[in-house]
Amino acid sequence: KIRHSRYLLSTLYVCLHDGWLTSSSFPRPFSALAFHSHNSPVVNSASSWQSIAPGTLLSDFSPRSFIHESIEPRRQSNSRLYEQSTQTQLSPSDREETSSSSSSSSSSSSFAKHALLFSSLTDGIVPNPSARSFLRHSLLTLLLQERVAEREQGLKTSVEFSPCNGPDIEALTDLETVDDLLTRGRDMAESEDFFDNLKEASNSLEMEHWSRETINHLLSNSQSIDVRILYIPTAMYALNPQSGNTPGKQRQRARADGKKRRAQLLQLLEELMFPTDGTEDEDFYGSDGNRKWNLLSVTLDLDDGSLKQHVGGYGDESLLFPEDDNAALTTWKPHIIYVEGGNTFWLQYCIEKGNYGSLIKNACITKNINDDDFASIYMGKSAGAIVAGRAVATATWKGWDDPSIVPGKGTYEDWIDSRGLEMLGDCSFFPHMSDDWVELVEEKKKNVLNRIDNDDDEEIKVICLREEDVCCVGGGRKRYFSIQSGPIPLP
């Protein structure tokens, strides 16, 4: 309520800006709203109003005098949120220029705001209640952020269009409810024992209750809700030089396989958002009988920047899907960026070739704990997890991926110093871990020192991911935890 009272004040300021409103002639709607929020420190009737004599024109007073100091940082943050939706798109050459500055400005302390790194979707996340809860919580948080931004913009427009009538009461009420849900969700995520609580049955039920409440409110106050998923299967599109099939046949099979894997992701999201116990409410459906949740998915190949396999569209698809690869990672603001597994070296090569590194990092990395900027959820599977880390060299340890497909970097030695996206501080990832690789990992950690920073005193930090492991990243407090799949015992 403290934060949203500025809309009441903006109503007053718009009226007084032209000099025709005095302190003794407030419009009735504004007077009622101001009285309703009289406990807010923004509308401080004990100080601000008493200093203005009745009948005095208010146009001489600065609008900043009516803004409580606790509001300004949040307002600036919201301004950045709106600016992000209209940011200039970059060509590959422009991205190359900005990539170096972005890389130099982002230190080893960079953290994705929400991320899940894993070896297998079907073995790691699908059967893992804790990982599923983390993913759903992260996604609902983004949807609540969008709703707040949407309502704030709507209230601002209504105040500017009709200042004497004040803000839309229904929109203001919805905004307060959404803000309350967002605050409660953040309180859970920012608690010191959040990650531990995900594993506890009682706390998982609390998370479930919050999730259901959030979903029901969003649906009951919306015509439809679009969840945008950007699927990047580039790693699995890498050609195999030893294959007996033609390159065209390999690509055809890879695209078909990628389509099936993406369907598995969409099925998971369907299960997270739609109750499977027969408790669907009528609010889940629109007037046309269709469900309000709309999963918008598009496939981006970083090799050539092409966008294909659009799913979930309705009406004018040009308004629902990005027009090119730049927009897909910027103005489209995907809720989820899913980077598929496959040949790590080909994936990293395509990221560098197209200068996509800075775009992916800017889409996913949070600036600070209290930052309200929109940040996509990064989901990296196998190769997608490796490139999200600091050192790509972990892909050379098992010898599974063939680097010879990459021009000019056809040996493992060529990749020892390669730097990944660094979206988990100075941590690197070693997926598909098993007992067979324990000695190898220890040897490599000792022999492959942190050559990226020329620091011979520090070993690289490696997070080993077994098939059932999921590393969940909460970038707001720069924390992460690994969990294994398996049911949470109910009380």
What is d(CA 429, CA 386) in angstroms, rounded to the nearest whole number? 5
* Alpha carbons 462 and 442: distance in angstroms, whole number: 10
Helix (H, G, I), strand (E, B) or coil at 275: coil
Which tokens hold the place of 326?
């730049």
Output 171-179 pairs: Cβ under 8 A, ≥24 positions apart: 172/4, 172/7, 174/147, 174/221, 175/4, 175/148, 175/151, 176/1, 176/4, 177/217, 178/144, 178/147, 178/148, 178/151, 178/217, 179/3, 179/4, 179/148
Rounded CA-CA distance 9/386 in Å is 50
* CA-to-CA separations, 324 to 92, 230, 274, 328, 334, in angstroms, rounded: 12, 12, 30, 6, 13
Positive or negative: CA dihedral 465, 473, 354, 245 = positive
Token pair, residue 258, equals: 């990628």
At 348, list the tokens: 């990293």
Cα torsion 278, 282, 285, 291 to 10°: value is -10
What's the count of helices (H) and strands (E) in the chain, helices before strands?
14, 12
Terminal CA-CA length for the chain = 37
pLDDT at 141: 93
Alpha-carbon gap, residue 190 to 147, rounded angstroms: 21
Q: What is the pLDDT along the chain (491 residues), one digit of tens a residue?
A: 445 554 555 555 444 444 434 434 444 333 333 333 333 333 333 333 333 344 444 344 343 333 333 334 433 433 333 333 333 344 555 444 434 333 333 344 688 999 999 999 999 999 998 899 999 999 999 999 999 988 888 888 877 777 676 677 888 888 899 999 999 998 888 777 777 777 665 556 788 889 999 998 888 877 778 999 999 999 999 999 888 899 999 999 999 999 999 999 999 999 888 765 555 556 666 666 666 788 999 999 999 999 999 998 665 566 789 999 999 999 999 999 999 999 999 999 999 999 999 999 999 987 655 556 789 999 999 999 999 999 999 999 999 999 999 999 999 999 988 999 999 888 999 999 999 999 999 888 876 655 555 454 556 689 999 999 999 988 666 677 777 654 433 32
Q: What angle do CA 15, 149, 77 make, to 5 degrees?
A: 90
What sections of 317-437 are H helices per DSSP? 325-329, 344-353, 357-364, 383-386
Strand partners of residue 389: none
Residue 365's alpha-carbon distances to 169, 331, 388, in angstroms, are 35, 16, 11
Q: What's the confidence (pLDDT) of residue 70? A: 36
Give 446's contacts (C-beta < 8 A, 6+ positions apart). 459
Residue (of 464, 462, 436) closest to 449 by Cα position: 462
> What backbone phi and psi angles, to 5 degrees, belong to 67?
-110, 120
Cα–Cα distance between 309 and 293 in angstroms, integer?
19
Q: With CA atoms as reference, report the closest residue to 322 among 267, 273, 373, 363.
A: 363
Q: How far is CA 83 from CA 27, 75, 153, 318, 331, in A?
A: 32, 12, 12, 21, 10
